[in-house]
Structure 1
Amino acid sequence: MNKKALIAMSGGVDSSVAAFLMKEQGYECIGATMKLYQNDDIVINKEHTCCSLDDVEDARAVAHSMGMDHYVMNFKEHFREQVMDKFVHCYECGITPNPCIDCNRYLKFEYLYQRAQELGMDYVVTGHYAQIVQDETTGRYLLKKAVDASKDQSYVLYSLTQDQLAHTQFPLGGMPKSETRAIAEAHGFVNAKKHDSQDICFVPDGNYAKFIEQHACKTYPEGDFVDVHGNVLGRHKGIIRYTIGQRKGLGLALKEPMYVMDVDIEKNQVVLGRNEDLFSKRLVANDVNLISISHIDAPARVTAKVRYRHTEAPATVNPLPDGKIEVIFDEPQRAITKGQAVVLYDSDIVVGGGTICETEKLY
């Protein structure tokens, strides 16, 4: 009997080619498009966003062209609670979240994974660029970087558990994006030339503050911009509009370039400093998930990333008594930000990661 795979089909070219490759390997495939929100929920009328009618139709068309059943699964309530509400709450607390990580963790690899089990499927398949292999010595499943370094998405997948890794496949992890496009074009997929999405799906115009105010149904009061000594530099337009390292959009005429160093919720202040003041070497992370190893019981050498587009840097990870980890970089890193993930690597293997909850005080 053929193995069965539930393909998470967003309507984009990557998930479509992932479905094609699984079919080519002889899997019995079903396509599933997750309905995460209505366009009204994000207060913008834009057709070509994730979860638009066009995306659903593109996914359905590709699935049907391969003789696959296709279903739309309603996860709107879960997405609102686990991703959009959390996004708003974090900004209200002066924290910068990564909603793509939350979507992968709770939607694709929790709720969709549960649905796959209910349907008797053996695997959940997505169009992510990463690789899963099993360590023959330890038996543990490993998450590895994609062959195409420019498309590698292992950073946003660090929360996968051993059970999830055992029942997940990433068919695109071993090929460059150019090959993915070529396969789609060769087989006449309607989305072969479709652009990759770049923005957060529920904030497609990039206006985070507008989304937060409309989602939360409230506005956020103005306050003071201050320097590291507490001197007032001007007025900000609400703390939700600022994140660590930001320079653009401050609306101030200053003698030198200034960057956001901190957001003080209690005082409703945004602290500004110079670029060189943004560098630090230490962070603490909680909500830790380990993949290549079961625990950290002694200092270990790793490379670490503190943002998706950050270049990983050499560091030492230390275990803390409460299950948290401390990461100390060899060289100072710019704008380490609470709410973002720190992901640890051993060469091309993901050791694990966690959510940054404490950073070195910069002033």
Structure 2
Amino acid sequence: MKILAAMSGGVDSAVAAARAVDAGHDVVGVHLALSRMPGTLRTGSRGCCTIEDSMDARRVCDKLGIPFYVWDFSERFKEDVVDDFISEYEHGRTPNPCMRCNEKIKFAALLEKAVALGFDAVVTGHYAKVIANKDGNRELHRAATWAKDQSYVLGVLTHEQLKHAWFPLADTPSKDEVRAEAAERGFSVAKKPDSYDICFIPEGDTRAWLGDHIALREGEIKDTEGNVLGHHTGAQAFTVGQRKGLALGRPAADGKPRFVLEVKPKTNEVIVGSRELLAVDEIRGIRATWAGLPIAEVTEFLEKTPERGAQSAEFEITSQVRAHADPVLSAAHMEWVEDDESVEAGKLRLEIVVRLKEGLKGVAPGQTVVMYQGTRVLGQATINRAYSLNRADIQAA
């Protein structure tokens, strides 16, 4: 097969490309340039897709004896990831830029170009598995080792994208084994630290970065009774579950720490309370996509005419709201809803309703809920609202 290896400059993508070469495929390495402005992406070990990373990727390709190219996706990255990140925070939501990058850049723009150029598949260093079921349709599953599993951030992949996705590290038991293999192959990235944090925020200070991109204004920090406890410099810079940066100056009556329960960008208010009030038992998601072909219950529902009050599809799942969070037993159903947005668009909106059988804390609108059955990823949705166990009035929209 003709394989395009997406080379981030890290050890995982290096070993993934090497395994594709070992398998006898015709491999070409590509590094994605996501910024035209030096210094706007992180440097050293803290980010990804930097100039340093492109040089590391080139050295690996030279070692493997395969062609290497740099593709400029900076414009798409700005529009689909950076601008989306800013817009979501402006509306009081907490987005996952890595999720959006996988969806819009690494497995949409990249794959689209790769297929147009005649490549059969795109290889990345993600820890996840693509399995063909008994009908030959490809499904996305967790990696063999859950500690390294990255299927959550790949939950945005579609049926067509999975046809052209290959993850050679799927069955690798540990990152130590990957590093050992990289060292044995003579790769300079063998001991390179993992990247983390948001790559387009160079100093790692999200609040300060948002202050340069969003018109923040001072507002009030209130408790659940409406009492003013302090002031902030911009509600959009806060996220549900946040504890640091409140600077209230005095402790709560019970002496326990307070957390952000709700962000209200329209009134520029931040609502805080105890950790217990962060618990939610129902999540409503929008903009759902399905990883591979949808399960039978979903397919049957989607084939029906979306009439208000129509019977909903129900199915048992485990749900996950963060990349490294534990999955939670849940029941999900789908329904068509009518609201101002859907009426304006002239059609009903599909919502995924996830009822949690175990409590979750700190669930913020804008985050992604990924749905699983066993190890299989069913799909994902963007969290629009989360309902509190103890406060029915906390309903972040």
TM-score by length of 2: 0.87
Q: Is the 8 A contact 2:330 2:357 kept in 1?
A: yes
The structural deviation recorded for 1:252 is 1.4
2:261 aligned with 1:264, yes or no? no
The alignment status of 1:319 with 2:351, answered yes or no, reads: no
1:193 and 2:220 aligned: no
Instruction: Give the aligned residue type for 2:353.
Output: E
Partner of 2:154: 157
Alignment-derived partner of residue 144 in structure 2: 147
CA–CA distance in 2 between the matches of 1:21 and 1:239? 47
- Number of residue pairs aligned between Structure 1 and Structure 2: 357
Secondary structure at the aligned position of 1:60 is classed as: helix
Taking the TM superposition and a 5 Å limit, the aligned residue runs for 1:76-87 are 76-87=74-85
What does residue range 199-278 of structure 1 map to in structure 2 within 5 Å? Answer: 199-214=197-212, 216=213, 219-253=215-249, 254-255=251-252, 256=255, 257-278=257-278
Alignment-mate amino acid for residue 241 of structure 1: A
Give the CA deviation at 1:309.
2.3
Give, in whole Å, the separation in 1 of the partners of 2:117 and 2:42: 34
CA 1:319–1:103: 2 relative to 1, 3 Å: same
Work out whether residues 39 and 46 of structure 1, in 8 Å CA contact, stay in contact via their aligned partners in 2. Answer: no
2:367 is matched with 340
1:48-67 equivalences in 2 (<5 Å): 48=45, 49-67=47-65
Q: CA deviation at 1:113?
A: 0.5
Instruction: Please point out which of 84, 87, 99 is paired with 1:101.
Output: 99
CA distance in 2, matches of 1:300, 1:309: 24
For residues 317-350 of structure 1, the C-alpha deviation after alignment (integer angstroms, 9 at most, x for no partner) is 0111232210001122112211111111111111
Confirm or deny: 8 A CA contact 2:2 2:120 kept in the other structure.
yes
More off after superposition, 282-291 vs 63-72: 282-291
Instruction: Output the amino acid matched with 2:143.
Output: A
Change (3 A) 1:91 1:352: same
Q: Normalising by structure 1, report the TM-score.
A: 0.94
- Tell me if the contact between 2:32 and 2:73 (Cα under 8 Å) persists in the aligned partners: yes
Q: Distance in 1 between matches of 2:127 and 2:202?
A: 22
| Residue 34 of structure 1: aligned partner | 32
- Specify every segment of 5 or more residues in structure 2 that has no aligned partner in the other structure, as ranges: 302-312, 337-348
Task: Go from structure 1 to structure 2 and tell me whether the alpha carbon gap of 1:219 and 1:294 turns closer, same or farther (over 3 Å shift).
Answer: closer
Q: Distance in 1 between matches of 2:129 and 2:218?
A: 46
State the AA in 2 paired with 1:258. R
1:282 is aligned to 282
Note the C-alpha offset of 1:169: 0.2
Mapping of residues 11-50 of structure 1, within 5 Å: 11-38=9-36, 40=38, 42=40, 46-48=43-45, 49-50=47-48
Instruction: Tell me if the contact between 1:39 and 1:45 (Cα under 8 Å) persists in the aligned partners.
Output: no
For structure 1, list consecutive stretches of 5 or more residues without a partner in the other structure.
Answer: none
Displacement of 1:92: 1.1
Q: Does 1:309 align with 2:324?
A: yes
